[in-house]
Amino acid sequence: MKRRSAIKNLMIFAGGIYLLPSCAGDGKSSIELKNLDILVGEEALLGEVAETMIPKTADAPGARDLNLHLFTLKMVDDCHNAEDQKAFKLGLVSLNKVALEKNNKPFNQLDATTRIHFIESTLEDTTSDPALHTFFEITKRRVIQGFTNSKYAMTDMKQYEMVPGRYNGYFPVDKV
């Protein structure tokens, strides 16, 4: 074997070893966040919550298809103060614990109607777990904001009509 090819192969091998940890993933969120420390499981749980709020139908994509859980994470990371971020994280962590206490199953394993009932009861009862209540309030606000600003809502759901609108020559004048 020639010395140049041996050094070249050694450098390629060393570069692969150097890059290997970044390819394996360390369980962090799939998007870069500055202030929040969200794990992959927590991101998936937030995706389930968002999908419960805006479910997929035959005609419309769901929250997971529109990546509204990622939008929510980015908005909480960039636009909310440290107190809200801490409450959001604590609420996300305590979500499965509270679901286990109330329904004997984690949130991911609940059926759709039980999920909806669980979220509604948590939003109504502000005294039991304030962090979870704050988490649902923030998530609800940001998921709705993300949906109304999504490409689907702006192009497929709303049909834009120029300002004066259509001319209707048969509209009765006496009813104006």
Any idea where the domains of the chain sit in the sequence?
24-157
pLDDT at position 23 over 70: no
Residue 67: CB atoms within 10 A of its CB come to 18
Q: Distances in Å between the alpha carbon of 10 and those of 2, 3, 13, 19, 93?
A: 12, 10, 5, 14, 45
Task: Give the model's pLDDT for residue 116.
Answer: 92
Query: For 81-107, what is the mean pLDDT?
Result: 90
Mean pLDDT of 43-60: 93
pLDDT of 147 higher than 70: yes
Q: Which residues contact 89 (CB under 8 A, 6 or more apart)?
A: 36, 37, 38
Mean pLDDT of the chain: 86
Q: What is the pLDDT of residue 81?
A: 93
User: Which pTM was predicted?
Assistant: 0.75
